[in-house]
């Protein structure tokens, strides 16, 4: 085995304070953005914040990735080039994109930003990712609806780094419509959605808990379960998946810190002593269960689940 394998631990940050805290605890890279350009950001970061974040992270050899994966309509494209120009100038370490509009724009501007390709549901095989590689992406962020076996095959057939999510909720739906506002309007409730934390329960699925929110990109629905791959990290590490990501949306700062620190420990232990790692994964999982909110079940997403069609 290649002993130089060191997976990158990435996580989201809702603000500067959390960014610094999570970097100090052990995240190798932080993902931030602004809802005007990025999807499902944990909190809005201005360019000014991004500048500070880059300086802070680069000082300790850590990375900052910026979400620019919105489904851009024509109007949004108008300010996008200037935004990209700024990100390039600030020397962010990568932009997370999911719309092919990025390629002609970057080509015309002759910018050298590193593209992490994440169209979420739309890139689910190695040929497609190789195609995007030929267009200039430098990292493949894989869909959450893939099995571990599929991920391994993709990893083997791709020559760029592969990133997957290992913890937290995932997005399962995006509409351009304001679906919650529309509902409030229909029932004549004028209180609006601003500032509310909301979730859906599916009639036929007892105790289901699907967070739902609106922003300038429309309506987003998040998964019923929180992904938790702690017990199965071995499968991911043996496959030498390059980057593993924690999504901290809807979680308390304390929870997020604990989770990042546990995954940091897990990665470090894997690198230093795999026997010890194998002995401790259950303990770490138990520590997660202890802080897991009651209404949020943990599971392994689609990594070990068959889908039919």
Partner 1 sequence: MNKKPELLAPAGNLEKLKFAIHYGADAVYIGGKQFGLRSKAGNFSFEDMREGVEFANKYGAKVYVAANIIAHNENLEGAKEYFKNLYEIGIAAVIVADPALVQACREAAPNLEVHISTQASIVNWRTVQFWKEEGIPRVVLAREVSMEEIKEIKEKVDIELETFVHGAMCISYSGRCVLSNHMTARDANRGGCAQSCRWKYDLFEDGLDGAVAVTEAAEETYTMSSKDLSMVEHMPDLIESGVDSLKIEGRMKSIHYVATVVNVYRKIIDTYYEDPQNYQLKQEWVDEIWKAAQRSLTTAFYYEEPTEQAQLFGKPDKIPKYDFAGLVLDYDESTQIATIQQRNSFSIGDEIEFFGPNFYHFKQKITDIWDEKGQAIEMAKHPMMIVKIKVEQPVKYYDMMRKNK
The site for partner 1 (CB under 8 A) is made up of: 71-74, 76-77, 99-105, 120-128, 131-132, 144-146, 150, 153-154, 172-180, 182-187, 189, 196-205, 210, 212, 221, 223-224, 295, 302, 305-309
Smallest separation (angstroms) from partner 1 to the CB of 223: 6
Smallest separation (angstroms) from partner 1 to the CB of 55: 31
Cβ burial of 96 (10 Å; 0-12, 13-18, 19+) is buried
Looking at the Cβ atoms of 198 and 238, the one nearer to partner 1 is 198
Smallest separation (angstroms) from partner 1 to the CB of 128: 4
Looking at the Cβ atoms of 126 and 237, the one nearer to partner 1 is 126
Looking at the Cβ atoms of 46 and 134, the one nearer to partner 1 is 134
Smallest separation (angstroms) from partner 1 to the CB of 129: 9
Looking at the Cβ atoms of 192 and 279, the one nearer to partner 1 is 192
CA distance 59 to 54: 8
CA distance 114 to 123: 18
Smallest separation (angstroms) from partner 1 to the CB of 198: 6
DSSP state of 84: H
CA distance 263 to 216: 32
Cβ burial of 75 (10 Å; 0-12, 13-18, 19+) is exposed
Looking at the Cβ atoms of 120 and 242, the one nearer to partner 1 is 120
Q: Are 162 and 243 in contact (CB under 8 A)?
A: yes
Triad 254, 65, 195: Cα angle to 5°: 50
Tally of CB atoms within 10 A around 82? 11
């Amino acid at each position: 085995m290649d002993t130089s394998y060191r997976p990158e631990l990435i996580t989201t940050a809702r603000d500067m304070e959390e960014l610094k805290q999570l970097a100090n605890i052990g995240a190798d890279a932080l993902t931030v953005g602004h809802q005007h350009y990025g999807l499902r950001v944990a909190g809005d970061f201005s360019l000014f914040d991004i500048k500070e974040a880059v300086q802070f992270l680069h000082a300790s050899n850590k990375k900052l990735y910026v979400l620019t994966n919105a489904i851009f309509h024509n109007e949004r494209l108008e300010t996008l080039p200037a935004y990209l120009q700024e990100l390039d100038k600030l020397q962010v370490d990568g932009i997370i994109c999911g719309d092919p509009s990025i390629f002609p724009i970057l080509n015309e501007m002759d910018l050298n930003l590193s593209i992490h390709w994440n169209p979420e549901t739309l890139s689910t095989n190695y040929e497609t990712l190789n195609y995007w590689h030929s267009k200039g992406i430098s990292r493949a962020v894989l869909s959450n609806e893939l099995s571990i076996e599929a991920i391994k095959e993709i990893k083997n057939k791709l020559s760029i780094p592969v990133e997957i999510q290992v913890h937290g909720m995932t997005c399962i739906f995006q509409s351009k419509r304001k679906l919650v506002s529309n509902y409030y309007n229909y029932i004549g409730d004028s209180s609006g959605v601003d500032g509310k934390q909301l979730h859906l329960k599916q009639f036929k699925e007892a105790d289901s808990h699907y967070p739902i929110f609106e922003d300038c990109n429309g309506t987003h629905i998040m998964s019923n379960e929180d992904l938790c791959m702690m017990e199965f990290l071995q499968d991911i590490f043996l496959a030498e998946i390059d980057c593993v990501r924690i999504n901290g949306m809807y979680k308390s700062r304390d929870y997020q810190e604990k989770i990042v620190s546990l995954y940091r420990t897990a990665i470090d232990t894997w690198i230093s002593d795999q026997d010890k790692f194998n002995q401790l994964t259950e303990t770490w999982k138990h520590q997660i269960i202890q802080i897991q909110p009651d209404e949020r079940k943990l599971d392994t997403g689609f990594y070990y689940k068959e889908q039919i069609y």
